[in-house]
Amino acid sequence: MTPLSAAFLPLTDSAPLIVARARGFAEAQGIDLTLVRTTSWATLRDRLVYQQVQAAHMLAPLAIAVNLGLSQQPAKISAPFKLNVNGNALVMATEFAAALDPEPAKRVRDPEATAHDFANAIGLYKRKPVIGVVHRFSSHALMLRYWLGYAGVDPDRDVTLRVLPPSFMVEALRLGEIDGFIAGEPWNSVAVAEGLGEIIAAGVNIWRRGVEKVLAMRTDWMEANSDTVDRLLVAVSQAAAWCDDPANREELALLLEQPEHVGQPAEWLLTALSGQMVLRQGDGPVDVPDFLLFHREAAGFPWRSQALWIYSQLVRWGMVKADAASEQLAGNVFRPDVYRRALGAAGVPMPGASMKLEGALAAPLPVGAHQGALTLGPDRFFDGAVFDPDDIAGYLAALAHRTE
Amino acid sequence: MRIVIVDDSGLRATVLEEGLREAGYEDIHVVPPRGAFVAKLERMAPDVVLMDLGSPSRDTLEEMLAVSRALARPIAMFVDQSDDAMIGAAIDAGVSAYVVDGLRKDRVKPILDLAIRRFNAFARMQSELDEARTALADRKTIDRAKAILMQTRGLGEPEAYALLRSTAMNQNKRIVEVAEALITAHSLLGGQP
């Protein structure tokens, strides 16, 4: 058995790592997997960078930011696997939400109209809205910025983004320290259940296939331990498939409920797993399809174009200066070559390409795959913009032009 | 040199603060990571910030360090790449340190060394305290079980204890486990717990 430690944060999308251990997928691959529960992204990053663990459940933008030297000590880390796709929602205080469409389901289904309504609501609100985000380099923050930017809202000027741990969001909303927040489940559902806020947008409806957490590892360790890496990827990929199977939902929720895992009541965890979201206290659940994906449509495949989309957003919001070296560094964080090597023999459908246009699919599309049949789901951005990884400057110019 | 300790545990912060004072540092402030603690920190303009590695508020602190315009000089994590052992010890002990730009390494190292020692000492204290608490709770459970045996079987105290002990030995269990089982069974059968 190869001993291997992996750090995670207690969130629903840590499921593939937890299942890899608890259901024996790691053991079957000869890996003695130890999970290290961590309470902040900073500590998870430090444990990985300083080699206290070999792998980590990491925010995809944070993995890129560490390589670019934007988050404390620069280090080379790689993401050969995506742990999930989607899973976030935006909650706003009831008082703020009152200025939006009265029908919560319509707000979530029509993010274009809701973005415009949101922009108008800012002026009507008692103060500049303070919105909680889990981290500067989180998919959540980038998605919120993208959505606000569409309606001409400057996220650095017209609202205040405040970084708070997800578990503090509900309390901060209760105390009036924030007026809303974007986070992963179960925190959105908790805020709704307590009548403090309403879910007004779901990540899946902003970018239909949004990058979320990756399995990150130090690049030097990954390259020196290819056999272990391959076995780990097989185990986590099998675990992700298990997590995606609706038949396992209840068991998964009960597993995540345990205090050493996520440590929240199973009923709260089930909402994200089933996509049955209660948007406002007292309302019935609304079906939000594809709220969270673990495995289907090769969800784990780390498209380099997705890493570059994240890079484009870091440039857009002035977090990094655009240059060819940074672009190359960011794109290389995602390692489809390692994914192919590890899972090629495991019978996982394998995309033929490593880059694609992001946001070009309005409907499911069967694509070229090396083995098995692979259908990619619709991956549109809500505003219809298409990201061409070969023309980042053109993409950013078009976005800037539109909001002028 | 102004040192700010950001910690949720009042006791650990005190243990660390005392140590730093004994070592001759005087300008020390303790801030719990709650509410608007970053604004408070910004006003203090610290040279060194020590924070529990397990605090969920580390991301909030790092955000402040990344965007603050109020701080005259940038503060970043203390990292001396040449000293992996120290970084490992800090992470093991659960300390993170942020240091103002330009502060010399030899001035920071003693502070971090001290923080590591104090954090470790606190963790030991905590586990000894936990053990003592468990021991006390175990004794109370065993006393209740003895009382049940004395009452229902008319045994004296030494005999009741001997019975618990021999049962535990025969079943390869701890005495407290046998005592717990007995208390549960007794209350299921309608006895007073």
Domain boundaries, chain A: 2-85+211-262+294-345, 88-206
| A150, pLDDT greater than 60 | yes
The gap from C-alpha B174 to its chain's centroid, in whole angstroms, comes to 27
At A203 the pLDDT is 95
Q: Is B39 in CB contact (< 8 Å) with chain A?
A: no
Chain B residues in contact with A37 (beta carbon < 8 A): none
Q: Which member of B53, B60, B77 has the closest CB to residue A72?
A: B77
DSSP letters of A221-288? HHHH-HHHHHHHHHHHHHHHHHHH-GGGHHHHHHHHHSTTTT-S-HHHHHHHHHTEE--STTSPPEE-
CATH fold of B2-128: D-Maltodextrin-Binding Protein; domain 2 (3.40.190)
Could you confirm whether domain A2-85+211-262+294-345 is CATH 3.40.190.10? yes
Q: Which residue of A has its CA nearest to B64?
A: A163
Q: Is the dihedral of CA A174, A177, A180, A185 positive or negative?
A: negative
| B125, pLDDT greater than 90 | no
A97 vs A90: CA distance, rounded Å:
11
| A73, pLDDT greater than 90 | no
- Give CATH for domain B131-188: 1.10.10.10
| B102, pLDDT greater than 70 | yes
Chain A residues in contact with B54 (beta carbon < 8 A): 39, 43
- Mean pLDDT on B44-53: 92
Burial of A189 (0-12, 13-18, 19+ CB in 10 A): buried
Q: Which residue of A has its CA nearest to B83?
A: A50
For chain B, what are the domain ranges?
Answer: 2-128, 131-188
Determine whether the interchain pair B58/A167 forms a contact, defined as Cβ–Cβ distance below 8 Å: no
Chain A residues in contact with B39 (beta carbon < 8 A): none
- Mean pLDDT on B94-102: 88
What amino acid is encoded at A285 in this protein?
A: P
Determine whether the interchain pair B62/A71 forms a contact, defined as Cβ–Cβ distance below 8 Å: yes
| B174, pLDDT greater than 80 | yes
- Give CATH for domain A88-206: 3.40.190.10
Q: How far is B130 from chain A (nearest CA, A)?
A: 19
| B84, pLDDT greater than 80 | no
| B193, pLDDT greater than 60 | no
The residue among B59, B63, B78 with the most chain A CBs within 10 A of its CB, best to mutate, is B59
The model's confidence at residue A332, banded by pLDDT at 50, 70 and 90, is: very high
Q: Which member of A50, A73, A163 has the closest CB to residue B91?
A: A50
Q: Enumerate the H helices of A31-89 as residue ranges.
A: 41-49, 60-67
Q: Which member of A50, A71, A177 has the closest CB to residue B87?
A: A50
Per-residue model confidence as pLDDT tens digits over A12-66: 999 999 999 999 999 999 999 999 999 999 999 999 999 999 999 999 999 999 9
The model's confidence at residue B79, banded by pLDDT at 50, 70 and 90, is: low
At B123 the pLDDT is 85
At A81 the pLDDT is 98
| β pairing state of A197-202 and A180-184 | unpaired
The model's confidence at residue A348, banded by pLDDT at 50, 70 and 90, is: confident
The model's confidence at residue B49, banded by pLDDT at 50, 70 and 90, is: very high
| Least confident among A200-209, A236-245, A350-359, B102-111 | B102-111
Q: What percent of chain A stands above pLDDT 70?
A: 100
Q: How far is B17 from chain A (nearest CA, A)?
A: 23
Q: What percent of chain A stands above pLDDT 90?
A: 90
The model's confidence at residue A223, banded by pLDDT at 50, 70 and 90, is: very high
Q: Which chain A residues have any C-beta within 8 angstroms of a chain B C-beta?
A: 39-43, 46-47, 50, 52, 71-73, 134-136, 162-165, 167-168, 175, 177
Chain A residues in contact with B56 (beta carbon < 8 A): 39-40, 165, 167-168
Q: How far is A327 from chain B (nearest CA, A)?
A: 22
- Mean pLDDT on A330-338: 98
Chain B residues in contact with A138 (beta carbon < 8 A): none
Q: How far is B121 from chain A (nearest CA, A)?
A: 21
| Nearest residue to B96 (alpha-carbon basis) of B46, B61, B45 | B61
At A16 the pLDDT is 98
- Mean pLDDT on A320-329: 97
A134 vs A166: CA distance, rounded Å:
6
| A135, pLDDT greater than 80 | yes
Determine whether the interchain pair A52/B66 forms a contact, defined as Cβ–Cβ distance below 8 Å: no
Which residues, 6 or more positions from A176, have their beta carbon under 8 angstroms from its beta carbon?
none
Chain A residues in contact with B58 (beta carbon < 8 A): 40-43
At B80 the pLDDT is 67
| Least confident among A5-9, A210-214, B131-135, B159-163 | B131-135
The model's confidence at residue A298, banded by pLDDT at 50, 70 and 90, is: very high
Per-residue model confidence as pLDDT tens digits over A362-375: 999 888 777 778 89
The model's confidence at residue B67, banded by pLDDT at 50, 70 and 90, is: confident
At B87 the pLDDT is 84
Q: Is B77 in CB contact (< 8 Å) with chain A?
A: yes
| B72, pLDDT greater than 80 | no
Domains A2-85+211-262+294-345 and A88-206 share a fold: yes
Chain B residues in contact with A135 (beta carbon < 8 A): 59, 63
Locate A64 and state its tokens. 């890129």
At B107 the pLDDT is 85
Determine whether the interchain pair A40/B63 forms a contact, defined as Cβ–Cβ distance below 8 Å: no
At A371 the pLDDT is 73
At B82 the pLDDT is 64
Chain A residues in contact with B53 (beta carbon < 8 A): 43, 46
